[in-house]
Structure 1
């Protein structure tokens, strides 16, 4: 099938919903009818149903149990123009003591590799980036110490 056919989306008709409710369809056709959800493309249905997907959907369509979804015509969405935002504030001065403490606490667990493990943490200049890096380190520590142990080692270091 061509690329356009792969992008088609089918929905159940009223007759299709009724056929499911009264179980009047059976076998692969019923499976195909169940999988038609108004969201999956034909390409997705092929992946779920296999090589006979096109034949199954074609048969359901012929029987009036599914129909091609007609996209609604939409007016273009106008978005308000936003003023350029101020550059992110550099919070390095406030984060420096937390970074030093983090390296000190990581030393016993990672030895000379502590600065390598904490590279993203040390490079962070904003609280969000610092906390994200700390979360990554906590997940790595949890592999060895468990979640509770990792949380204890890094307690009080969130920015």
Structure 2
């Protein structure tokens, strides 16, 4: 008959590993892959610079799951398939994710000309997804092991009476 205390300890350790995967590893992996994609985009941006006159636009083909990263002093008006595209930015670098295939138009809606550089990059998400799935699976295994340890413990108590 297996030792209930040992099984319970194993279950707790498995759940602890699952929690580490879910709350420490997967966010770190996501941040790491995202920052690598942004660094790659910065290298691409710095290699090409465009000058946009007022009300001039630049069209860029993009596919689903990709991110447009561009440098500009102020955010430009972005249209994806003629619909406004949400964007976020910090310190002159602006990011706009695409959930569909299409053409993004970067429109200079200011009264002065702007120098911009852009890149379209993807973010590799499978390592983060893998750690999340593995964390959930290990969590379930840990719960099953603890439940089994509890049953063994109850059986041992019943035999002792």
Report the TM range for the smaller structure's normalisation: under 0.3
**Larger proportion of helix:** 1
TM normalised by structure 2 equals: 0.21
**Larger proportion of strand:** 2
TM normalised by structure 1 equals: 0.22
Larger Rg: 1
